[in-house]
Structure 1
Amino acid sequence: MKKSVLATAVLATLISSSTLAATVYKADGTEFKVGGRVEFRGDFNADTDGTEIDGTMSDQTRARLNLKGTSEISDGVKAFGFYEVEQKAKDSDEKMKNRYMYAGIDVHGNALSFGAQDMAAVQVSKFSDIGEFTGLQKRIEGSADHTEGVIAYRGNFDALNLQATYKAESSDDSDSYGVSGTYALPMGLKLGLAYSMDQERVDGNTATTNSTDKANQILAGISYALDAFYMGATYSTGDTGNGDNEFDTMEFALAYDITEQVRVQAIYGKDTTDVDGGSDIDREDFVELGGYYTFNRNLKSYVAYKANSADGADDDTIRLGMKYSF
């Protein structure tokens, strides 16, 4: 593959958030785009975690705006920057949040970037993270998305994509890092493997005592795409960083495009923590069934049903949504 094509592939991976982003300036090797989306999301019957709703609906509506730019420095060398902010309609301490905010340089398909961005494992966790309630594999800080203070290397080598990320913290011995690789085979099959670590970790979701043990995660994924059919599966295991507590997390996703407008999905997700000296805790255990209808390249509607069997979940969730992308 030509170096210029490699560079384009890396940049597309780095700064793609909306394929509909509008080019507002393009001249002399410099390009600037604006994109985003407005998305109504209403949860009925129960919140995402299965907590029963007292009223009619839990409003999860959100909007995102992103700015992205690239400029050519020399042949095969480009500078790039990306910024994305999200605003939530629901009252919370994080009603307005910067999701991505980074800049970097790409040299013949090898990109180095700095700022708030995805950790390396995300390129593997995306294999199964296609639903409204998925994303279980971002289990520790070292495998999370849109993370602050990250130094990242990303490189494309034909069918092989390699990534390495390091998250710098202000506290001593609390940095995180990750490495990952994906390999795409000609028949539509893709394989992925990632390793992530937090030097210190306190897992507030399952903690019984405050601990500063190291947390780690090994993540494997496989996906297959053929015409209108898609399958993605991921499995990870690791240590929560809280004493000897360990976890096993899995997601299996199937999707099929019935027509150009209609898409159906079925997903299973489970995240179990093995508490040292105690019983296992199912943080997530659900089946998600979803249907999507695309009106045009800008507007999409969907309905998703989450059959929730996690520990502490009171009821199932029904989510209705409509998303306008620009």
Structure 2
Amino acid sequence: MKRNVLAVVIPALLAAGAANAAEIYNKDGNKVDVYGKVVGLHYFVTNSDGGEDVDKSYARLGFKGETQISDQLTGYGQWEAEFKAATEGGSTANTRLSFVGFKFGDLGSFDYGRNVGIAQDVASFTDVLVEFGGTYADSDVYMTKRASALATYRNSGFFGLVDGLNVALQYQGKTDGGQANEGYSVATTYDIMDTGVAVGASYTASHTIDGDVALGDKAEVWNFATKYDANNVYLAAMFAETRNVAGWNKTQNIELAAQYQFDFGLRPSLGYVQQRAKEENKNYDLIRHVEVGAFYDFNKNMSAYVAYQINMLDKKDDPYAKSTDDILATGLVYQF
């Protein structure tokens, strides 16, 4: 989890490489990198409504490779899995990424497989909080995070004509088991050169799956975000709206992040996260909390972090609240 102010991990870069990959092969236009991390993570629930302290430790391992086919054509692939540090014998492994594709010079890239929904290109602006960020986005939920059967087209620099302007198109085919129906997404981000300022927006639409079909035949998600990333300061804000997703006609989501990177490795972080559902002329806060935390990098391979979630919800006032707990999280990370 690399937290340098100039290198916040953005899902859009997954096809290009991971933060601390170790090159294990590079010959005759063929290259393979391996990357991974081990995280010791524990939650201390300090104001529980039924929850308890819990171990959240896990490990991730992945590889990415590419082959130079011609001057303007490169093939690439990436795979990544996560392994929960649970008891032996349980089902603890999950494939996070598995896709393959081509890059066609300035014309862009195209790949297919299990990948990151391009809505995350925008959501990543605020997806930098220590532990308790994120509202509407979830894996295998309408292309809002990681999902299967994704065909993705990306173009960086708008065909080499506009530095900093990136566009992406994505299509999801129907998968077995009813986890996803057909859908599409469009996203664009623009880094205003030499200012540290960037803006982004995305829109996603899918046919509803069985659990949401009563709400309507189309699930929609759109978001807008902006950030400032310069002079060791990181500020970001995102607003998103979902319609007919996860049992709600509409949710409105706000995420805010502020961080400062000290030269000796400390990165304090402050965030605000809110998700409000709108249903039959009534509003319910599902998520509303402040996160106070910090990262500390010992070096590029070893880091630690701590985060405290100050929950602002009460079940009496918000009966559909996803959690009313205050939680202290502590983590230690080794990555390569």
- The TM-score with structure 2 as length reference comes to 0.84
Residues 201 and 246 of structure 1: is their aligned pair in 2 closer, same or farther, counting only changes over 3 Å?
Answer: farther
Shift of 1:238: 3.0
Q: Secondary structure at the match of 1:15?
A: coil
Residues 216 and 245 of structure 1: is their aligned pair in 2 closer, same or farther, counting only changes over 3 Å?
Answer: same
Query: Could you tell me which residue of structure 2 aligns to residue 302 of structure 1?
Result: 305
User: Cα RMSD (Å) of the superposition?
Assistant: 2.6
Q: Deviations over 1:16-36 (max 9, x none)?
A: 563211111001111001111
Partner Cα separation in structure 1 for residue 227 and residue 59 of structure 2: 29
Partner Cα separation in structure 2 for residue 134 and residue 287 of structure 1: 9
Query: Could you tell me which residue of structure 2 aligns to residue 99 of structure 1?
Result: 96
Say which is worse superposed, 259-268 or 90-99, in terms of deviation: 90-99
Q: Deviations over 1:57-98 (max 9, x none)?
A: 301111000011011000021000000000112469862100
Query: Could you tell me which residue of structure 2 aligns to residue 4 of structure 1?
Result: none
- The TM-score with structure 1 as length reference comes to 0.87
The percent identity for this pair of structures is: 26
Query: Could you tell me which residue of structure 2 aligns to residue 288 of structure 1?
Result: 291
- Structure 2: unaligned runs, 5 residues or longer: 1-9, 158-162
Q: Secondary structure at the match of 1:123?
A: helix
Shift of 1:267: 0.4
Query: Could you tell me which residue of structure 1 aligns to residue 135 of structure 2?
Result: 136
Instruction: Find out whether 1:249 has 2:245 as its counterpart.
Output: no
Shift of 1:141: 2.9
Whether the 8 Å contact between 1:82 and 1:100 is mirrored in structure 2 is yes
Shift of 1:200: 1.1
Partner Cα separation in structure 1 for residue 231 and residue 144 of structure 2: 30
Instruction: Find out whether 1:165 has 2:170 as its counterpart.
Output: yes
Residues 199 and 251 of structure 1: is their aligned pair in 2 closer, same or farther, counting only changes over 3 Å?
Answer: same
Residues 285 and 113 of structure 1: is their aligned pair in 2 closer, same or farther, counting only changes over 3 Å?
Answer: same
Q: Secondary structure at the match of 2:14?
A: helix
Q: How does 1:228-243 map to 2 (within 5 A)?
A: 228-241=232-245
Query: Could you tell me which residue of structure 2 aligns to residue 13 of structure 1?
Result: 13
Query: Could you tell me which residue of structure 2 aligns to residue 108 of structure 1?
Result: 105
Question: Alignment length, in residue pairs?
Answer: 308
Shift of 1:114: 0.3
Instruction: Find out whether 1:192 has 2:195 as its counterpart.
Output: no
Runs (4 or more) in structure 1 with deviation over 6 Å come to none
Query: Could you tell me which residue of structure 2 aligns to residue 5 of structure 1?
Result: none
Partner Cα separation in structure 2 for residue 244 and residue 13 of structure 1: 32
Whether the 8 Å contact between 2:172 and 2:181 is mirrored in structure 1 is no
Whether the 8 Å contact between 1:44 and 1:53 is mirrored in structure 2 is no
Whether the 8 Å contact between 1:11 and 1:106 is mirrored in structure 2 is no
Shift of 1:314: 3.6
Q: How does 1:11-90 map to 2 (within 5 A)?
A: 13-15=13-15, 18-45=18-45, 51-54=49-52, 57-90=53-86
Q: Deviations over 1:122-155 (max 9, x none)?
A: 1000000001111224268334222111000011
Query: Could you tell me which residue of structure 2 aligns to residue 272 of structure 1?
Result: 276
Query: Could you tell me which residue of structure 2 aligns to residue 6 of structure 1?
Result: none
Say which is worse superposed, 239-248 or 101-110, in terms of deviation: 239-248
Shift of 1:315: 2.3
Q: How does 1:255-266 map to 2 (within 5 A)?
A: 255-266=259-270
Partner Cα separation in structure 2 for residue 53 and residue 179 of structure 1: 38
Partner Cα separation in structure 2 for residue 294 and residue 60 of structure 1: 20
Q: Secondary structure at the match of 2:241?
A: strand
